[in-house]
Amino acid sequence: MSLSLLATTTIPSASYSGNNPLWRTNKSLQPPVHVGKRVAYTLCENKQTKDGSVESHVIDRRNVLLGLGGITTATIGTQGMSAVGAPLAPPDLSKCHLATDDESKKKVNCCPPYSSANIVDFKPPSCDEALRVRKPAHKLTKFEVERFEAAIAAMKNLKPDDPWHYSQQATIHCTYCNGAYDQVGTNTLLQVHGSWFFLPWHRYYLYFWERILGKLIKDDTFAIPYWNWDTPKGMYMPKMYLNSKSPLYDDTRDKNHYESVLDYKYAYNDPNPVGPQIDEVITTNLCHIDRMYKESKRHPALFMGKPLRAGQPVPTNASGSCENLHNTMHQWVGPPTSPYYNMGNFYTAAHDTMFFGHHGNVDRMWDLYSKFRGEKPEFKDPDWLESAFVFYDENRQVVKVKVKDCLTPEQLRYAYQPEKLPWADVGRKCKKLKKTAKKRSSGDSMKLTPAADFGSEPRILTETVQAIVKRPKISRSKSEKEDASEVLFIKGVDVKSGSAARFDVYVGKPIEGLAGPDYGEYAGSFVKIPHGHHGSAHAEHKASLELGITTLLEDIEAEGSDTLIVTLVPRNGEVTIEGIEIELFTHEDDD
C-alpha cells in the first residue's frame, strides 16, 4: 500500500522528488496527481492574465468540487441522516454557564474572559504569508525546541485573565467539550467531540494557538511540532516533553510510560510491552492505521464521525475511527487513575502541552486522509461546511470561523513536513502477524464453541461477549463494494456516569456455525475519555460505534459467509450494549 503526500507550492520541491519514499507507486491508493505536476487543490497559485501579467488567486477544494456557483444541494452518505438545513451556529458568549467534569461530577468554570466581544468574520491568511511548516517533535533541533519553550514560557507569563494566557487557552477545550455553552436557541449542550466537527474544530484550535505563540516571540514563521505516533520512532513520548525543568513538562502524565512504546490497544494499567512484544506492538499499530484508511476511504463518516446538526445532542451520533484512536493516546499519556488529569480528562487535557503535539498529528491524519481521497471534500453538506465556531485570535479579536475555510492546512497557510509513512507499506507484515496469531491460538486448542444471537435485551460487558451476526449480503462484487461499505454497527453504547471506558471488537468467520478458538481479526475499539455532556436540564443519550469491515472480510476470507462471529472484549469501565448489526452504508456520489 502506498499513500502519497501532496506537495504545496511553497514546500521545497526536493521533499517530493521521485526518490522520496512517499512516492511509492500503487495506483489503487495514489491520489490522481503525479510527481512534478502541479497539485490540483493548492491554496495559492499564480495565474497568467491575457496581458501576460501574473495575478494571485485562490483555489480551494470546496469550490472545485461543489461548483463555483454555490452550494445548492446536499447529500449524506450516512444511514438514516438527511440534510435539514441546520448548520451549527457559534454560541452566545453572554450565556456561558458552569461546565461539568464528568469524572468527578463537579461543576467547573470554563467560561472565557470575554462575554460581550464584538465578533468579526474570520479572514483566511493571505497567499503572500509565509507557510508555517510543522515538524515531528522527536526531530526538532535544539534551537527549535528552545524556541518552542520560549513561546510557551511567554504564554504562561502573561496575566492570568489575558485570553492569550496558557490556562485561558487550555480552558477553551473545556468550553467546547464539557458543556459551558448551549447550542443557540436550545437547551442542548454544545459539544464538538463525537461527530463530524471533531477534526475541523481542533484544526482551528491549534491554528490560533500556534499563531498566538508566534506573535509572542515575534516570529511569523513559527510552527508547532506534532507528535507523529504513526511511525515506530514516534511511538514513544517525545523527549522534549519529559524534561522536568522545561515549560513543556507536565507532572500528571503516566511516568510508567516515559520509556515505553505506545500500544494502540492500551487499557488502563496494562503492562508495558517488553522484548519481542515491542516489535509486535509496533507492527500491530501500523496495521491498525493501514486498515483505518482503507475501510473509510469511500465513507468519510467512518473516519470523520457522523453528522451533527443544530439542535441534535452529540451522543446520538458516533465518533469516527480517527477520534476513537486519538482517545487511546489521551488515556496512555494521562494518569491511570481517576480523575485522570490532565491528558486523560477532556476538562483538563489542554493544560498539558503534549495535547497540542498529539492533536497536531490528529490534524495531520485528516490531511493525509483528504489527500488519500484525492482532495474530495469529506461531506458536501452545507450543514457541515457552513457550521461556525468562535475563537480569540492573534490580533486580539473574537472571530467567527466556518468549517468550509479549513478544509486543507494550505488554506490556513501551514503544512506538515513530509515524512515516510511506514504504515503505508505494512501489508506483508500484517499478513505474517495474522498467521503467527492463528498458529498460536490453534496450538492452544482447536475446540469450537456455540455462538448465539446477541438477543433483544441490553447486555452489560462484565465479561467477553460473542455473538453470531447475520450479514445483509454475501460475496459482493468489486463495483458493489465501491457503491457501499459494509459496516459493523454496535448500538446503544451506554457508559456508566459518562466516565472513561474501553472495549475492543473482533470479527471472525464461523466454522460450521461455531466460534473458533480465537477471537478473529481486530476491527477496532470504543474508547471514551471522561468529559461532561450531561446536566440536569439535558437528557442523556447513548452513543454508537461504527466500524468498516469491507477489507477486513477480504483479509479473513469471509466474504462468502452469511454470518460472522463478533466478539466484544471489555477492557475498562462499565459499559452496556443494546445490540449488534451489520449494515451496508451507501457512499456519496463522488462526482
Active site residues: 173, 193, 202, 326, 330, 346, 359
Under DSSP, the state recorded for 73 is -
Q: Answer for the pair 198, 112: CB distance below 8 angstroms, yes or no.
A: no
- Three-class SS state of 338: coil
- Residues 164, 329: Cα–Cα separation, whole Å: 26
- Three-class SS state of 339: coil
Q: Peptide bond preceding 339: is omega within 30 degrees of 0, i.e. cis?
A: yes
- Residues 165, 411: Cα–Cα separation, whole Å: 26
The phi and psi torsions of 371 (rounded to 5 degrees) equal -70, -35
- Residues 129, 8: Cα–Cα separation, whole Å: 14
One-letter identity of residue 299: H
- Cell numbers describing residue 469: 451476526
Nearest one of 434, 579, 562, 406 to 486, comparing CA atoms: 562
- Residues 528, 330: Cα–Cα separation, whole Å: 10
- Region of 119 (left: φ > 0; alpha: ψ -120 to 50; beta: rest) is beta
- Residues 41, 63: Cα–Cα separation, whole Å: 10
Q: Answer for the pair 115, 108: CB distance below 8 angstroms, yes or no.
A: no
Under DSSP, the state recorded for 573 is S
| β-strand partners of 470 | 563
Under DSSP, the state recorded for 186 is S
Q: Answer for the pair 571, 504: CB distance below 8 angstroms, yes or no.
A: yes
Neighbours of 508 (CB within 10 A): 22
- Region of 346 (left: φ > 0; alpha: ψ -120 to 50; beta: rest) is alpha
- Residues 390, 450: Cα–Cα separation, whole Å: 54
Say if strands 398-402 and 119-121 run parallel, antiparallel, or are unpaired. parallel
One-letter identity of residue 67: G
C-alpha pair distances (Å), 111 with each of 97, 107, 349, 399, 553 = 7, 12, 16, 16, 47
List CB contacts of 123: < 8 A, sequence separation 6 or more.
none
